[in-house]
Copies of this chain bind each other. A is one copy, B any other.
Amino acid sequence: MSDATAILLVYCPDQSGIVARLTTFIHANRGNVVHLDQHVDTDDGAFFMRVEWELADFAIPRDELRAAIAEIAEPLAMTAEVYFSDEPVRMALFVSKQNHCLYDLLARYEAGELPRVVIPLIIGNHATLAPVAERFGIPFHHVPFDKTQRASIEAAEMALLREHRIDTIILAKYMQVLSDEFCEAWPHGIINIHHSFLPAFVGARPYHQAHARGVKIIGATAHYATAQLDEGPIIEQDVMHVSHKESTADYVRRGKDLEKVVLARAVWWHIQRKVLVYRNRTVIFR
């Protein structure tokens, strides 16, 4: 017997009785709620909820669930997403030359700490990390960056990703900007790690910018990539204190520990279906 669950993420204008409406629906169909997290944004008058229930005795077949939810959602002007806990997440990693995020993610993958994740391929704009991919038995595609061929290169990459039915792309220090078309083809499906505490130090060489400004704390930010560079919904951030004794090179070295941990946390929330995007912000149902 399965211990799979259904996960429902919703938001809508706040109004009376939404929690009761949804939980009664689940309970009436013999679903057992195992997690419910609900929240009202009083600034925006918006209601948010994540609810997860066991499917073992649930009366509604999976392929009819989305339609059943839509029927409830429609009169409430509710936006709803439905996931099943046993569906695989098909993930591609994009890398450049730095190895820290790649090793970090692959070590978790190998240790079984990324449940349901399947990584069919790694794409690098440099060949530097091909040996790492090889050690983990994952096909590596070397796609050199070439400004003059950008459209055709991206088209080839997108074809490759679609061929492997990729739903989640991790830019694990990829260091290249994707086109608007690319970003929009995987809405809330591309996670980037930026090596600053956004919105401070957007763009290139953020550690150098931080050193020049004389900040006392450096940071890293994982966000969904959108057509606006470094402006996508923030999923996770963390920081560390620095001192005047540290050079820019120290920031780069120490910052890697932030980057890999922040990226991994964002990946974790994402694959747990705990992230809801609303008005370019995220709600993380921890």
Interface residues of A (CB under 8 A from B): 16-21, 23-24, 26-28, 32-43, 48, 98-100, 103-104, 106-108, 110-111, 113, 135, 197-201, 211, 213-217, 219, 233-239, 241, 243-245, 247-248, 253, 257, 261, 264, 280-284, 286
Contacts and interface: CB of A to CB of B under 8 A. Distances in A.
A257 B247 contact: no
A interface, over-half SS = mixed
A37 B34 contact: no
Given A23-B24, A100-B107, A244-B281, 5 more contacts: A20-B23, A200-B200, A216-B237, A217-B239, A239-B239
B216 A236 contact: yes
B281 A214 contact: yes
Contact of A284 (B43, B113, B243, B264): B243
Contacts of A110: 99
A111 B99 contact: yes
Contacts of A261: 257, 261
B43 A247 contact: yes
A262 B216 CA distance: 12
A239 to B, nearest CB: 6
A233 B200 CA distance: 16
Nearest to A286: B245
